Structure 1
Amino acid sequence: MSGRSESTLALFEQFRTLGDNDLIRLAQKGNQEAVSFLLNKYKSLVKMKATSYFLVGADKEDLIQEGMIGLYKAILDFRENKEASFRVFAE
């Protein structure tokens, strides 16, 4: 395993101990590993939501990709001073 992969895995282990608001703050400050962690953490939510939609001419993977773009935008746009949790905001 490369040094970068090991350090990324160690960082992801540290991220598991942080709450969403802490991760969002890191991501909004430009921490790409925090962005990746959040995208991975909520990918199952995106997949679940995508299966409940049908778009003429699009397949399931297209909907998932659009959902991941929406999730990325939610990470950038979320403000923790609002009353909704990040998960609710992302939905």
Structure 2
Amino acid sequence: MIETSPVRRPHVFPKGPFRGLNTRATTAATGLVGLWVMLGTWRPDLVAEALSDVRSATGPTLGWYYVLLVTVILVIVLWLGLGSVEYQDSPVS
């Protein structure tokens, strides 16, 4: 039998709640979300105005895409969730 060494993945958290996630992407995403939360706590009017501007700019052009995307994601989640259900002839006691 051929023995292989484990694959080394240099940019992945080895343990903890972020185990298996890319360190750079996770750190960047966590930082951006944290920045938005801190900015929203400090200046909620500024964040509300920025999000309103983004929504009004993208809403008319991407509205159909958003509805389609959410529908596809919902179908995939339901398919994955219900795919693991095992039906039995008799109830489990």
TM-score normalised according to structure 2 size? 0.25
- Ranked by relative contact order (alpha carbons within 8 Å, sequence separation 6 or more), the top structure is 1
TM-score normalised according to structure 1 size? 0.26
